[in-house]
Structure formats: structure tokens, C-alpha cells
């Protein structure tokens, strides 16, 4: 499966199937020009996941910041309905690696 990460009409990047590690789908991420505007928020999420955060505030703030972007995943083949990132699905991006759960 191939997904296109969108913010409105702007293409952020493309995600291609790269396996499965249940409950996550493993994906390869290819950035598009819109990526630079959202990259810091995905980096903040990655940092929050990997840190000691006893009350979870840092993680909650990182997820909220991504929700505020109103990103969507569009199935390039048109077989799946669009997904709202961090509302209908979880999406983590680290460099060219990504994980999706929906």
C-alpha cells in the first residue's frame, strides 16, 4: 500500500509499504517540499517518545501539535478512506522510516 501525506493541498511526503511489526505497518518515507514545514513537529514527537516523561506532558503536547496541523493520509490506489493523522491513526516518522497504526 502507498500513502500520500497531505496538509490541505500540499504534499508533505509519500509512504510506501515496507513490512509489518504488529500492530504497526512499517513504511518508507520519501519527503516532498512540504515536509520542511512539519518536520520539527515529527521530530518533537520522536524526542518525546524516547524521553523520560513521568506525567506524559511532553508526549501529549507533541501529539497535539501534530493534530493541529490537520494532516491526512490519502491512499494513492484509492482503496482506503482518507485518515486524519493523530485522530484516526498513529503516524511516526524518523528520517526515511515510518510506522503507521490505524
pLDDT digits (tens, 9 = 90+) for 37-78: 999 999 999 999 877 777 889 999 999 999 999 999 999 998
Report the predicted TM-score, pTM, of the whole model to 2 decimal places. Answer: 0.91
Residue 73 · residue 15 · CB < 8 Å:
yes
Residue whose C-alpha cell reads 501534530 in the numeric block: 66
Q: Is 84 helix (H, G, I), strand (E, B) or coil?
A: strand
pLDDT band at residue 96 using 50, 70 and 90 as cut-offs: very high
Q: What is the pLDDT of residues 4-19, one digit of tens each?
A: 999 999 999 999 999 9
pLDDT of residue 56: 81
Amino acid at each position: 500500500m502507498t500513502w500520500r501525506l497531505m496538509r490541505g493541498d500540499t504534499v508533505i511526503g509519500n509512504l510506501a509499504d515496507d513490512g509489518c511489526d504488529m500492530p504497526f505497518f512499517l513504511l518508507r518515507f520519501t519527503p516532498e517540499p512540504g515536509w520542511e514545514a512539519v518536520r520539527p513537529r515529527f521530530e518533537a514527537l520522536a524526542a518525546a517518545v524516547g524521553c523520560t516523561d513521568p506525567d506524559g506532558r511532553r508526549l501529549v503536547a507533541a501529539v497535539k501539535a501534530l493534530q493541529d496541523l490537520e494532516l491526512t493520509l490519502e491512499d494513492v490506489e484509492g482503496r482506503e478512506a482518507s485518515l486524519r493523522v493523530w485522530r484516526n491513526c498513529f503516524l511516526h516518522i524518523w528520517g526515511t522510516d515510518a510506522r503507521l497504526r490505524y
